[in-house]
Structure 1
Amino acid sequence: MKHDTFIGNVQDRGDYASRGEAVSATRAVLTTFGERITEDEAENFASQLPPEIDRHLTEATHAQQFDAEEFRERVADAGEFGAVSDDSENATHAVVSVLVETVGTEEFQNVVSQLPKGEKYGDLLTTPAQ
């Protein structure tokens, strides 16, 4: 998938008024996801993404231990959404849906299944029905 298509899809799915908002959401979610997964997983995902955004996954400090609530907080901070709110979840769902479309459901779920079950990532890292 090309960069413009990826960002355009995030913009549509996140209902963002501008491409800039979609770019910010993409950066925030991919960076946070990159911080949570291992370096190998991040590099695998990044290899399937447009070069303009793959670095958000690979330049993170990987395999940090944090729960789903902190994931929301980090996305909110990185995306400059302010306080943890529906905005960070909206951004996460929009980016995850495009990420799944890009890398495939099975591959994405393989990574998510490795996250601790008690940390409630399931609801956050899913794609709601469109």
Structure 2
Amino acid sequence: MRWEAFLDQVKERGEYESTEEAERAARTVLPLLGAHLVGEVRAELAARLPEEMALVLLNPLQAREPLSPERFVRATAAWIEGATEQTAAWDVGAVLSVAADAAGEELTRRILLQLPAGYDLLFGHPQPV
């Protein structure tokens, strides 16, 4: 996926007024996601993202413990000036749903296996109970 196409999709899903807003969301959410993924899953996702986003995904610090979806959203809000949990949830959903589309169903399923329960909703891929 090309950089412009990725940002255009994030901009559309997030209903952002500018590409800069979409890029800010992506550069905040993807490192947090990358901190929670390990091994081949992280590398495969990076390979399906634009190079600029792959580098962001691959260079985070490792998370000490997996964040629940709620804590992931709060962490995102903490990194975005002026964000609330509600706006951060919107940012997370926009970015992760585009990442899931780039990843495809099989890789998205493997990503979700590495994350605590509830991330399926953040990715826009609700799993059957």
Q: Residue type matched to 2:36 in 1?
A: R
What per-residue deviation string (whole Å, max 9, x for no partner) do you get for residues 70-120 of structure 1?
A: 100121122334332x21111111112211221102211211123233xx3
SS of the counterpart of 2:44?
A: helix
Indicate the residue corresponding to 1:101 in structure 2.
101
- Written as runs of structure 1 = structure 2, the 5 A alignment for 1:1-130 is 1-65=1-65, 66-84=67-85, 86-117=86-117, 120-127=118-125
- Aligned pairs, how many? 125
Identical columns (%): 29
Q: Deviations over 1:14-43 (max 9, x none)?
A: 000111100001111101101111254322
8 Å contact kept, 2:7–2:19: yes
TM-score, normalising length from structure 1? 0.84
Give me the whole-angstrom Cα distance separating, in 1, the residues matched to 2:5 and 2:109: 23
- Normalising by the residue count of structure 2, what TM-score does the alignment of the two structures yield? 0.85
Unaligned stretches of 5+ residues in structure 2: none
